[in-house]
Structure 1
Amino acid sequence: MGLGNILLRDEGIGVRTYERMVERYVLPAEVEAIDGGTLGLNLLPYLEDARRVLLIDAVRSGQEPGSIVRLEGDAIPAALALKMSMHQSGLHDLLAISALRGTTPELIILWGMEPLVMEPGLDLTPPCAAALDTLVDHVVGELRTWGLDVVALPA
């Protein structure tokens, strides 16, 4: 699930990663790839129907722009409490409601990247654009560790 606002440059890292991944890979039928954008609570049905969820997003971690971050389980809501980006209060609420309803997936992983700027514009900044393929590789690698057959499309 790629998250973020593509109108705010690096805030769109999750969606841009999702786009790149589906351009370059075929995902198995049991995987539902979603451009979650800034849908927030509207994503609740996707969490309720999933055993495992992989989120992709911009993550303010204090590292250099373009740095890759992986969070798992309880580390995700704790990190979101810092309000790393403007839509993540919706993500925080989404995870909290899922927990209250008892529908939290068995496993939630967040792969993200440290943004440089989150201001109006359509393009990722140079450090984030340069690291985008690396983030895609990590996401695909994570899916493969789950035993999923993610196949690269011919170049």
Structure 2
Amino acid sequence: MLARIICIGNPFIAADAAGPMVYGILAGCPLPASVNLVDGGLAGLRLLPLFEGCNQVIVVDAVEGFRADPGVIILDPATMPSAPVDYGHQAGLAYLLQAIPHILDPPVPEVVVVGIEGPATVPVCRQAARLCLDLVGSENGCPCRPESVSAG
């Protein structure tokens, strides 16, 4: 089974730095050979080809309005808003996820969003990284030290 972890965001904007921080943590972890780690940056719809040729895709991104308190949440793409209320950050992720079944040839991969609600702190991003490893079935763990990742 081939899996991809795609971390989305902008490391220069604190409210959008969660994905890049999780990428930095995971880049220092021993990943199974069947897992590709991708820095998706701000590529938007240009990320669509990364959803091809794999069984599972985990998208890591900052989210808003899914939890009452800050933390990590797993979202099914079906729970993402179907029509963007605005054209902000969340609308872009929802639009990307909605485009997958309409643009890609079947079979489409299982897609899960690991969302970080609130500030992208090192402890929260480490929790998200561990969750990604659990979702791909990695038994290698993540020996990364918190000080190896900038707090943004």
Q: Which residue of 1 aligns with 2:150?
A: none
| Residues 33-83 of structure 1, C-alpha deviations (whole Å, 9 max, x = no match) | 100011001101101232210011111124223x111112412x3388456
TM-score, scaled to structure 2: 0.75
> In 2 relative to 1, CA 102–44 (structure 1 residues): closer, same or farther, beyond 3 Å?
closer
Rounded Cα–Cα distance in structure 1 between residues aligned with 2:96 and 2:126 = 28
Report how far residue 150 of structure 1 moved: 4.0
Rounded Cα–Cα distance in structure 1 between residues aligned with 2:133 and 2:100 = 25
Q: Which structure shows the higher strand fraction? A: 2
> Which residues of 2 match residues 4-153 of structure 1 at below 5 A?
4-23=9-28, 25-60=29-64, 61-65=66-70, 67-75=71-79, 77-78=80-81, 81=84, 86-103=88-105, 105-116=108-119, 124=120, 128-144=121-137, 148-150=138-140, 152=142
> In 2 relative to 1, CA 43–93 (structure 1 residues): closer, same or farther, beyond 3 Å?
same
Task: Write the letter of the residue equivalent to 1:38.
Answer: L
Q: Which structure shows the higher helix fraction? A: 1
Secondary structure of residue in 2 paired with 1:132: helix
Rounded Cα–Cα distance in structure 1 between residues aligned with 2:15 and 2:32 = 28
> In 2 relative to 1, CA 51–80 (structure 1 residues): closer, same or farther, beyond 3 Å?
farther
Q: Which residue of 2 aligns with 1:121?
A: none
Q: Is the 8 Å Cα contact of residues 11 and 115 (structure 1) preserved in structure 2? A: no
> In 2 relative to 1, CA 63–80 (structure 1 residues): closer, same or farther, beyond 3 Å?
farther
Rounded Cα–Cα distance in structure 1 between residues aligned with 2:37 and 2:57 = 10
Rounded Cα–Cα distance in structure 2 between residues aligned with 1:87 and 1:33 = 22
TM-score, scaled to structure 1: 0.74
Report how far residue 94 of structure 1 moved: 2.1
Q: Which residue of 1 aligns with 2:148?
A: none
Name segments (4+ residues, structure 1) moved above 3 Å: 79-83, 85-88, 148-155
Unaligned runs of 5+ in 1: 117-123
* Matched length: 138
Rounded Cα–Cα distance in structure 2 between residues aligned with 1:57 and 1:154 = 20
Report how far residue 96 of structure 1 moved: 2.5
Rounded Cα–Cα distance in structure 2 between residues aligned with 1:88 and 1:154 = 29
Report how far residue 154 of structure 1 moved: 8.1
Rounded Cα–Cα distance in structure 2 between residues aligned with 1:35 and 1:102 = 21
